[in-house]
Structure formats: structure tokens, C-alpha cells
Structure 1
Amino acid sequence: MFKKIQMRLTWMNAISYFIFLVLFLTVFYVSFAQILNKVQENMVESYAANNTDKFFNIYKGPPKPPNRFELEVDQVSFFYVISKDLEILYGEELHEGFNKVLQTNLTPVETKQFKRYEYEGETLLVMTQAVRMKGETLGYIAVGQNVTLYEALLQNVLILLVMLLIVSSIGIGLLSYFLAKKSMAPIQISYEQQRQFVANASHELRTPLAVIYSSLELFEEQMKQQGTNYPRDTMDDMKNEANYMNEMLSSLLTLTRSDQNQIELNINEVDLSNVIIQRTRRFAKTVQHLAFQLDVADELMVEADKILVEELLYILLKNAVTYTQEGTVSVRAYEEVGLAKIEVADTGIGIAEEDLPYIFERFYRADKIRNKSGTGLGLAIGKVITELHNGQIYVQSELSKGTTFTIELPLKHK
């Protein structure tokens, strides 16, 4: 039980830290990318501002031969002069032929426009803007820089952050496991002490209870022999309370052994059909106010502890009878997809929808309508027995319409 809780805490802590780390690294990467992009754009704008006179002189000076492009292989910045008709007139470029790529993507711009191009394995950032004089647009310029190194830097940062995320996730998992184990330690110690106390108290109290019950029977017999008129209902109440306490102690011992994995199973091949029929018929003989219906398929063979399976059936039948004043208790068993399915249904008072998720918890009681006799441990023990046999138990119920418990047990392989 504690292992499951510890692993659940570990996963909850790890997932929480992981989500926080992912968000933090994402914000960091996006912010870094935006800053790096702004730095690149500022460098291009700075180059354009520092060469403003040069661009105006090209427009005002002797006309350059059209389509004349000079290669500047030792620089990282380049530019192109563009006419109002979006024809590239002149330029100093880093990569021969890039002007053709730029020409096909030119559009008129009123403000600065940035665009990235992948060309010959490198990344080029190009800013296009209009050149105006006295309110008149002379043409356009396209100014750019080779930003391949910056893109490589951004990619390396991304790889580093991913590696950091992986390493941190492993560390977070280990740290979460350690913290969960640390936080569970005092709870586990307290629980172990409580469980040991319950086990010891249950063992110690069974003997005096047995003595009290046997003494009551002896006292009752002596009263009969002496002809003493002792109130019968008082004697019955005392015996019922003794039985009730003995039943609770037996249930506590069963759950304690289950928590300590000390329940020994005597696994054999069991004809579940026969067990269900016999147990139901024996139980029905003790109940006069209800009708019992049986619908059990033949030869439902399972590998199980017969005594525990009978106890499981007894728990469900007793639960059905306890909360059904009149009507029918139906027991149905059939095969479905390699499973033996057992349904115990009643027409009793039912269970509220908000109580259904908790009815298999120890000592849990639903509303006061269902708060009758019993220890509040029967269904918890039923779930333990079902899980010991690698099965599952379900419940469906509706107030005033009845309850159906369904058990699934693996069938024996033929």
C-alpha cells in the first residue's frame, strides 16, 4: 500500500517539477531567440544607417550599369539598390546569384521589412526599405547580413536546453522519489505501530470474548434448569454484541494479515458454479423474507482458494440481505472473454451515487439509511479477496432501486 502511495507522490512531484522546468526553459529559449533576433536586426539597420550617403550617391550619381553586382566575399554585410519598378540596379553581394532569388521575392514596402533566406547552406537576413527624398520614393534598398553563426548559436542553445531537460528530469525523478520516501517514513512508522496494535489487541480480545460468550450460554442454560425467569431479550442482546465484536476482530485480523501480505492462499482447481449454488442455497435457508434466484452457468472452473471464495460470496449475500427489506436477491454467474463473472443483485434501498467510490474503504458507511448492523469491513475484505485472486469487483446502484455487485475472476486455462 505504501509503495503505491510513494510512487504516486513521486510521479505527482516529478510531473509538477517537470512541467515547471519545461515552462521555464521554454520561456528562456523564446526570450533568448527574440533577443538574438533583435540583435541581428539592429546590426542590419546599423549597416543601412552607416551607408545612407552611399545609397543616395548611387541614386544621384552617374548611373550604374544595370544588373551590375560586385562580390564582397570578405564581408558579412551586403546591399542591393532597387528601382521604383522593383528592378535590382546594382549591388554588392556575398553570394553570386542571390540577386535572382531576391528579385523573385521583392514587393513594395512602406516600412522596414525583414526576411530570412536559406541560400547555399547559409542563412541571410535581409531588410528591405524605401529610399525617399523630399517625400518622393526614389526606389528601395535591400540590406542584409550573413547570420549563419547566430542561427548555429541558437540551435546549439536549443540542444543544450534539451540535454539539460533530460538530465534534470532524471534528477527530478530521483529527488522526487527521495522526498516522497522521506515524507512517507513517519506516516509508515505510525501506521505500522497502529497496525501492530490492532493485531495484538485483536488477538488478545478474542479469548475474553470467547469466555464471555460461553459464560452467557452457560448462564442461560442454568437459568433454564433452575426455572429462573431471566429476560430473554437481554440475554440475546448480550450474545449478539459478543458475536458482533468477535466478527469485527476476525475482520481486523484478516485485513491486518492482508496489509502484511501474510494471507496464505490454498490454490486449487475449483468448480465455481458448484460453490455458488451451494453457498447461495445454504444462505437462503436462513432468510425467510426474501426470494432467491439462481442463474449459474455450468463448469465455471477457476484456480482459487475455495474457503476465501465462499467467504467472498457470503459477504455479498449478507450485504444484499441486510439492505433489502423485501423483494429478491439474484445470483448470476456466466463466462465472458476468459473471465468468470458473478453478479449479486438485490432490490433493496440502494447506494447514493456520491458514496459509490468509497464503499470498499474500511469502516466507510454510506448515509444513515444504510447504517445498520455490521462492522463496515465486509466489502473491504471482499475487495482484498478478489484482488488476491487477480480479479476485480464493481458496483452499480441506485437509491430505492437496488444494488448489483459484479466480480470478475480469471477462468482456468483449458
Structure 2
Amino acid sequence: MPLSDIQAKLLIVDDLPENLLALEALIKREDRAVYKALSANEALSLLLQHEFAMAILDVQMPGMNGFELAELMRGTERTKNIPIVFVSAAGREMNYVFKGYESGAVDFLHKPLDIHAVKSKVNVFVDLWLQSKAMQRQVEALEQSRREQETLLAQLQVTQVELEHAVRMRDDFMSIVSHEVRTPLNGLILETQLRRMHLERGNTQAFSMEKLQSMVERDERQIQSLIRLVEDMLDVSRIRTGKLSIRPSAFDLSQLVSNLLEVFSPQISASHASVSLHAQQSIIGQWDEFRIEQVITNLLTNALRYGANKPVDVAVYTEGQYAVVQVRDQGIGISQENQQRIFQQFERVSSTQVVSGLGLGLFISEQIVAAHSGKIEVSSELGEGALFKVYLPLVQKI
């Protein structure tokens, strides 16, 4: 609210109504509100309700006189700074005036009142009050500005930390990508160089059907590794832009998991672990078969990778309105701190073993499950393995 819209409130106290009316007529203007009191008690009541720019008090009143009212005002926090002007019909004896100043007056008027003097004094005190209000507004504005700057500074500091984290994540990601891409590429390059060497030497024995079969299988593994890396990066891009597509169709979740374990046979054998399946017969639902297979593949891959070559248990069952796929390993486990991080991008469980991958599997899996209106839960203790549960609603709400 601008100061021009504020009315200065003036308090006049006199036990004679005619004096109040006459004084009001002298000092009232559109930008002022005049409050009248016929006694000190009535004045105190008004002082508790309003903020006054000044008070004009008659000295001689029955009951509590003007001096006593002024002393009460000066002793109260709310009213101690209100300028007080005394009005008296008594003579100009110095001791009377001094008593007024001792009671806290800032000025003294004598009756009969000088019209110009009254108007002039009131104008001065109202102007001073308005100036104090303007200064108060400026102080409040400065304080508000300071608070806003502090908030902005805090936001900038948070943004800086987030940017630094993003830069570190980018650098880490580029380092991981370059390492992960280099591994299959190096394999393909070495295979190509080896074959070129055999061809240049005319060593046709190196290209027997058995050896060619082995070469093709190695090439396929390296190419599939590259494809998985590219697909993971594409999925992250789709998730960020909200374009991760879910195409639900009816299929048997138990059968999907069973088929997937057969596909995983080479990896299971290579890990020297065993995988057991306990599946409820025929759990039919409307889900994206390709995406759900992607989620379970990620969980199985992690279970074999971190399972310390120990048995892995897989179960498929229904629980309430959900179909549940759980994968339990008996490996290194996940700390409570890491459990908060593993579903973030580029995060991999810290361990002494060297692991491959971009650290995107669980992030992508959680986003896929969330897109199905489901959820992934993990429970684990260090050294005691990990249990992942995927909940998929039987009645789809995609």
C-alpha cells in the first residue's frame, strides 16, 4: 500500500465535547482520521486499538488528568513513542509548562488556541510520522530484498552443487561408456586382425567349420554387447523425454520367466551358479512383454554378477492385486546407503570386483515398472545377498 493511501490517525482528548469538535474542525483533512475521547480512560481504550501519529491532550480533566495519561503512555511499549501535545487554559506559568514536558510532552499549546499554530504543529508531526512510515517501509523492503537474495543465493548454491554433480556424472558416464564400448570393439578388432593375418598367410586351416562357428559366436557376443549399450542409452533418452513406449498385450508371466531362464543357461553355467524357479502356474496379465523381459533380464544379470557364484532363487506368484517376480541371490549384498542410490542413473554397487555395464539397468527397470503402474522393492544386508521384488498390477492402469 503506498503512503498516499494511508490515513494518519490523530487522537484528541478533552472532557468538553465542544472543545473536541472545535479542535477536530481545525486539524481534520482527507488524509487524516481524528479520534475523540472525553476522558483519559476512553483515550486508553482507543490507544490499544489504533496506531496514532500524535495525541493532543487537555491538561485539566476530571479523574485522570492529561499529565497522568501522558505518563501512562510513556510507560507502555505500544504508545511510548507517540508525540504528545498538551493544551491548557491555565496561564503561561513556567512550572506548569515544565511539568508538561516532564510528563513526556513534545509541545505545549495555550488556550485560546492560535489556529495557525495548531495547524502548523499538527502538519509537522503528521509529516514526521509519514516520514517514519516511509523509512519503515524502506527498511522492510530492504529486509525482504535481503531475504530474497539469501534465498536466491541458497538456490544458486544448490544449483551449483547439482551442476557439479551433473558434470561429474557426465564425466563418469563418458569414462564408463568409453571403457564399455572399447571392450567389445577391441575384441572385434583383434578377431579381424587375426583373421586378416591368417588370410595373408594363406592359413585356410584357421577357417574350418568348427573354428568359423566359434568365430561367429564370439562376434555375436561382442555385437550384442554393443547393441545393449546403445539400447540402454536410447532408453535413458526416451525416459528423459517422456517417450518410453509401453505396448501392453496379454501373456503368461510365469512362462516368460521360465523361457528367459532357458535363454540364460550359458550365463548361468559360466557363473558356476545355479538358478531355481518357483512359479505359480499361468499368471496372465496385460503388460509390455519386451519391457518386462528387459526388467527381469537386468535383475538376473545383477544376481549372477553379484551373487558370489551362489544359488539364485526366482519366484513368480500373485499377491493381492499384483503379480510378483522376485529374484534372490546370496552374494555381497547392498548397504542401506547404496539401496537409495542403485535406482539412479549410472550407479553401480561398490565392490572389490570389477563390474561391467553403464549402471543404467536398475534405473531403466524402475522406470519401466513405474510406467506399468507397478513398483520395485529391494531388501538387503551387506554379505547376506539381496532380494528384489517386481510388482505388476494384474488390472493394468497404463
TM-score with structure 2 setting the length: 0.48
TM-score with structure 1 setting the length: 0.46
